[in-house]
């Protein structure tokens, strides 16, 4: 069964993208190929196959969390473009 055609203009509107006619045609074809490949994968019997998030095991290498001395307040403010009362002064971003 062929994949349903997804209207690429609708997807572009949802993503707030403006596409030229050439881009829309190219993306429509590419999306169709992706959906067709998903159909091909759906035809395989996966009974007994465990779902996985990654093809290879993923290991986190995390260093030990050790306290260490940081910058002093004076050192932190050394390169501050603007200071006020020994603090960073930043432009107002909210009214």
Q: From first to last of its 95 residues, what are the pLDDT tens digits of the chain?
A: 444 556 899 999 999 999 999 999 999 999 889 989 999 989 999 899 888 888 888 888 888 889 999 999 999 999 999 999 999 999 888 87
Ordered by start, the domain boundaries in the chain are 8-42
Instruction: Please give the pLDDT value at position 2.
Output: 45
Q: Is 8 exposed, middle or buried (0-12, 13-18, 19+ CB in 10 A)?
A: buried
pTM above 0.75, yes or no: no
């Amino acid at each position: 069964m062929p994949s349903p055609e997804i209207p690429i203009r609708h997807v572009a509107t949802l993503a707030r993208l403006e596409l030229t006619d050439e881009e829309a045609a190219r993306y429509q074809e590419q999306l169709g190929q992706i959906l067709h490949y998903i159909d091909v994968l759906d035809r395989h019997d996966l009974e007994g196959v465990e779902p996985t998030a990654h093809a290879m095991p993923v290991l986190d290498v995390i260093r030990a969390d050790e306290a260490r001395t940081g910058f002093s307040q004076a050192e932190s403010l050394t390169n501050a473009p603007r200071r006020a009362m020994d603090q960073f002064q930043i432009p107002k971003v909210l009214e």
